[in-house]
Structure 1
Amino acid sequence: MPRDSTITRERILQAAERLVLEYGFGSTTVDGVVAASGTSKGAFFHHFTGKDDLARALVARIAAADHRVLAAALDAVAHLTEPKPRLLAFLAYFEELAGTVTAEESGCLYISVLTERQLIDTGTADQIVAVVHAWRHAVTELIQAAFHGRPATGIDAERLADHFFVTFEGAYLLSRATGKPHLAAQLRVMRLMLTSMLG
């Protein structure tokens, strides 16, 4: 694809993301995206078949970024041969990145998609589910290794992995809403909790 066409597509995606985050998907129109991106309807329909296709492209871009973040975190702790320090270092990795992560818009875009019945029905939300499953799988493996299978408290490792995800996303939203560093604080609480559980 020619470079100028790629740039146009990216401009459309960036404009659409801003509008969806500000007004929601239902209130975002093709005309609005075209105007905000400074392109034309012809350019829009060259890259996207319609609003649903645009939504899938937006989610795919954010989901790919989330997969890269997870991969980077796993790579950062891969050198640790002992499973307990590796799990705790994985959590600490995100504590250190909390300020950068809070500035990102992925969580807000996911919420916009998940609250739109139309997008769920067309399968757009499936990409978000895939991200959740990827995180669950990776964190479950870290937890199982650290606890040699089942956590000593009897908590299922997969549920504990989900708790990490819920803590991360909830603290992210709290940070965005209040402008305060709740994400780092809540991730630290979880790390200290797991440290205690690990003895």
Structure 2
Amino acid sequence: MPYSPEHKAQTRARIVESARRLFNRHGFQQVTIDQIMAEAGLTRGAFYHHFESKDELYAAAVASFAACNPFSVKVSRGGVPLDDPRRLAYMLVDLYLSDEVLDDINMHCPLYALPSDVARAGLEPQQAYTDLIRGMSEVYRCALQGASDADRRAESMVSLCVGGMVLARTTNDPGLRRSLRASARHQALALLNA
């Protein structure tokens, strides 16, 4: 008896979530399909009912972050008016560069958790990564409406946030981790307020 479409969608989502967590922790090359399926509580054979390749799963895992990231979760829980783009931009900068996000490796954004993996990946993962960059840029671009250089400033803000987190993840010096993120936050907000 075939599974229902709902069951198939739930199983696929479980695989994607397991993959996203494992890729964030270990990178694309170090994670096997067997590990992903074991983490999801499924057999390797089930993988091929949902994905044609590990690259396809990787793209889905990167894309899934758009819906499960701390910013989206916070916005969806309410309390933040979606019609206030400046407030959303401030909130994204603050949350993205926060201790809370840095300390929770399972919630690390692929933009800073996986850049070297994605650079070596196929077109599907690169497209998913590109979509995340564009989505984050759009939050800032909306807050900068009317500015003649809104695109440049929005992309600079993305670069500061992602770069601040990349560098903070690479050092074992807690003071430098804080300082790097504080500097990135300061410059990103200066671009927002200019």
Q: TM-score, normalised to structure 1's length? A: 0.67
SS at 1:25 equivalent: coil
Residues 131-172 of structure 1: CA deviation (Å, up to 9, x unaligned): 222333342242243xxx33xxxxx32111111000111112
Q: How many residues align?
A: 178
SS at 2:49 equivalent: helix
Q: Does 1:72 align with 2:75?
A: yes
Q: Does 1:60 align with 2:58?
A: no
Identity over the aligned pairs, expressed in percent? Answer: 24
Q: Which amino acid aligns with 2:100?
A: T
- Determine the structure 2 residue equivalent to 1:163: 156
Unaligned 5+ runs, structure 2: none
Q: CA deviation at 1:71?
A: 9.8
CA 47–159 in structure 1, closer or farther in 2 if over 3 Å, else same: same
Q: Does 1:34 align with 2:37?
A: yes
Q: Post-superposition, which runs of at least 4 consecutive aligned residues in structure 1 deviate over 6 A?
A: none
- Determine the structure 2 residue equivalent to 1:94: 92
CA 29–139 in structure 1, closer or farther in 2 if over 3 Å, else same: same
Q: Which amino acid aligns with 1:136?
A: S
Give RMSD over aligned pairs.
3.5
* Structure with bigger gyration radius: 1
- Determine the structure 1 residue equivalent to 2:19: 16
Distance in 1 (alpha carbons) for counterparts of 2:48 and 2:34: 11
CA 115–194 in structure 1, closer or farther in 2 if over 3 Å, else same: closer
Of 28-37 and 62-71, the range deviating more from structure 2: 62-71
CA 134–99 in structure 1, closer or farther in 2 if over 3 Å, else same: same
Q: Which amino acid aligns with 1:129?
A: T
- Determine the structure 2 residue equivalent to 1:173: 166
Q: CA deviation at 1:40?
A: 0.9
Residues 99-144 of structure 1: CA deviation (Å, up to 9, x unaligned): 3333322234542542324x23xx2211221222233334224224
Q: How does 1:107-122 map to 2 (within 5 A)?
A: 107=110, 108-111=112-115, 113-117=117-121, 119-120=122-123
Q: TM-score, normalised to structure 2's length? A: 0.69
